[in-house]
Amino acid sequence: ELPQMDQGVTVLHVWPEGASLRRTPVHPAGRNVHQRTLYVQLNADASANLSVEETVQGVEAAGYRARYRAEGTRQERVERQLRDLFPGLELATQRFGDLTDVEQAVRFNYTGRAPQFALRDGNQLRVMPSTIGSLSRALARTQTRRHTLDLGSTTRYSERRVITLPAGARATTMPAAGEVRSAYGMARMRVTTAGSTITIDTEFELTRDRVPATEYEAFRAWMERADQLFEQRLLVEGGAP
């Protein structure tokens, strides 16, 4: 695992016969992968029971190993981090694989209850299709730039949400599947249904770690199109609150 801070930087390479300045490699997005699968039992009061599996490899993995290595503080730290994604999460269980083996991806799973998984609007529940969102605000906040934008690293994040609707409920509006590609990466969403279960697959990939100022306008436009894709909502109606 080559840390993010050590990728794409100039280093002095010294050997017995001489020395030269070289640039360290930037790993492709396929080596910096975060995968999350959520099994969601949605409740009519907008809460949800969650069972989640995650795999992290590449630049993020070292941070996960350091943060969760100590078992005594693991439960508290996992719950604190996940509450940024699922407000008010009540973590029931968590289990990690071997965090000492740096040759393997970090794997862990957890269960819990999210009291505000959806937003209730009258008789409707508004459900986010993914934790991916607000990309423009996170990665392209300003209208213009005078200098190169450093994105840190390439990355690929994929998420699957398998959502089971409450008894008596039905989906009235489904997110529209789509794909937005550019020279900087890809954003994608796929939606399938089977009875009362809706599966939403989302993926976001950054294939560049830097964006020159001359390309920033095009990069920001791509971010805005990706936001439009991921900011759709699944609307669910019915079911006793």
Q: What is the pLDDT of residue 240?
A: 64
CA dihedral 78, 84, 89, 91 (to 10 degrees): -10
Q: What is the pLDDT of residue 92?
A: 97
- The residues, ordered by sequence, that sit 6+ positions from 156 with a Cβ below 8 Å of its Cβ are 29, 30, 32, 33, 34, 203, 204, 205, 206
User: pTM of this prediction?
Assistant: 0.88
CB atoms within 10 A of CB 22: 11
Residue 233's closest CA among 173, 161, 158?
173
Task: Give pLDDT tens digits along the chain (241 positions).
Answer: 556 556 666 666 787 877 777 766 666 677 899 999 999 999 999 999 999 999 999 988 989 999 999 999 999 999 999 999 999 999 999 999 999 998 899 999 999 999 999 999 888 999 999 999 999 999 999 999 999 999 988 999 999 999 999 999 999 999 999 999 999 999 999 999 999 999 999 999 999 999 999 999 999 999 999 999 999 999 999 876 6
Question: Would you call 215 helix, strand, or coil by DSSP?
Answer: helix
Amino acid, single-letter form, for residue 81: Q
Q: What is the pLDDT of residue 8?
A: 64
Q: What is the pLDDT of residue 15?
A: 74
Residue 226's closest CA among 142, 145, 136, 151?
136
Say if CB 52 and CB 39 are below 8 A apart: yes
Residue holding tokens 């790993």? 27
Give me 220's structure tokens.
Answer: 């920001």
- The residues, ordered by sequence, that sit 6+ positions from 58 with a Cβ below 8 Å of its Cβ are 1, 27, 31, 32, 33, 153, 155
- The residues, ordered by sequence, that sit 6+ positions from 151 with a Cβ below 8 Å of its Cβ are 139, 206, 208, 209, 210, 211
Q: What is the pLDDT of residue 13?
A: 73
